[in-house]
Amino acid sequence: MQGPAVFMDISLEDQAQELRKYFKSLGAEISEEKSPKGVEDDLHKIVGVCDVCFKETNEADIEAILNSIVSIMVSIPLERGENLIVAFSQRLAKAPGPKLGLVALQSFWRLYNNLEPNSPLRYHVYYHVIELAARVGAVKNVFTGVEQLRKEFASCPPSNEQMQKLYRLLHQVLKDQNSELASKVMIELLGTYTDENASYAREDAIKCIVTALADPNTFLLDPLLSLKPVRFLEGELIYDLLTIFVSEKLSSYQTFYDNHKEFVQSQGLNHEQNVKKMRILSFMQMAESNPEITFDEMLSELQIEEKNVEAFIIEVLKTRLVRARMDQAQRTVRVTSTMHRTFGRAQWQQLRSVLLAWRANVNQVHESMKSVAAAQLEYNAQQQKA
């Protein structure tokens, strides 16, 4: 969603006056005369009535008018840039219907892309671009991930407080559309806090936990425990619930839910979805230490009926966190690999042992190949003598 700004072949002052006349003709409360204070003041007056252009029936005409305003905005130094951008976004937000909403968004996005990379105004424009995009369901067209966001502001990084504000907005508009991306945004937000101010991030930390628990595609929750704002929640129910999803089994969740049913519901979490996720997490934990799991063990640990075992295994395999094969005749599930729910010192030691064994095997193969090569050379030498 990017395009060049449209520039008219007249001076900025004359262009501003033509816009004044145009909006006046549509009934806007604006004079046709240039401002004695200069073109920036003209621009403020024009932006204050620019939503009148939505009376036009031709979308192309509306886009041309908005692009003309954008061309002035990117051509002059703006002393009151932030106020002007806020006013412009508020007017564009009045675009009636999704089609004109997209026209307004494209013009604002064009403004963003025509600002200098080191302009501090880029942050303010981008923030309001996200707001406009959310109104017309086009956030995915302007925001694809946190890595892309870092690149956007590489030349002029916003303040920590500004990024926190932007992350909160992104989380708000993404949570019902892309819960996985919303979780990543919230983790980035929590990562902006330090030991000194982590205690002020309580609400953000709770939102992060709830979003991650509710996301049907998020199973590895251990990294959340390392976030400083999350650690400040230790001792609260939401922290206890998180630790259950990180390392405990379904039975622990059931006990927690029986004792704190109202709390779980107050967080907007769905109990049935929680049970579904905990079954998968519990199976992963069983598979970590047991490559062959019987149906009886699954019925007991996962609280499912035997007729539902096959469907459950299919759900587990869809996550791609576990590789396994089911043997219905033997009533077992044979696990070939599984992702660990937590990755601490024990897992690092296990990985070290695997790598050391692999290195030893490679060395053994290498020595065997050397022996084979030496034997082949000796055989070739004997053949030549014969």
Segment 256-263 mean pLDDT? 97
Q: Confidence band (pLDDT; 50, 70, 90) for 7? A: very low
CA distance 158 to 357: 48
AA identity, residue 40: E
CA distance 150 to 123: 11
Neighbours of 35 (CB within 10 A): 18
The reported pLDDT for the residue numbered 293 is 94
- Per-residue pLDDT of 196-214, as tens digits, reads 888 788 999 999 999 999 9
* Residues whose CB is less than 8 angstroms from the CB of residue 125 and which lie 6 or more positions away in sequence, other chains included: 85, 108, 111, 112, 115
Asked if residue 379 has pLDDT above 90, the reply is no
The reported pLDDT for the residue numbered 3 is 38
Asked if residue 360 has pLDDT above 80, the reply is no
Mean pLDDT (the chain) is 87
The contacts found for 269-278 with CB under 8 angstroms, 24 or more apart, are 269/210, 269/213, 269/214, 270/214, 273/214, 273/216, 274/213, 275/250, 276/216, 276/315, 277/213, 277/216, 277/219, 277/245, 278/244, 278/245, 278/249, 278/250, 278/253
Tell me the percentage of the chain whose pLDDT exceeds 90: 51
Segment 318-338 mean pLDDT? 91
- Per-residue pLDDT of 275-289, as tens digits, reads 999 999 999 999 988
AA identity, residue 297: E
Higher-scoring residue by pLDDT: 202, 359: 202
Higher-scoring residue by pLDDT: 353, 13: 13
CA distance 312 to 279: 9
- Per-residue pLDDT of 161-185, as tens digits, reads 999 999 999 999 998 888 889 888 9
Tell me the percentage of the chain whose pLDDT exceeds 70: 92
Query: Cα angle at 175 between 173 and 176, to 5 degrees?
Result: 90
Assess contact for 1 and 141: CB atoms under 8 A.
Answer: yes
Neighbours of 115 (CB within 10 A): 21
Q: Which of these, 208, 260, 245, lies nearest to 230 by C-alpha position? A: 208
Distance between terminal CA atoms of the chain? 78
- State the pTM of this model: 0.72
Query: Cα angle at 117 between 111 and 123, to 5 degrees?
Result: 65
The reported pLDDT for the residue numbered 383 is 72
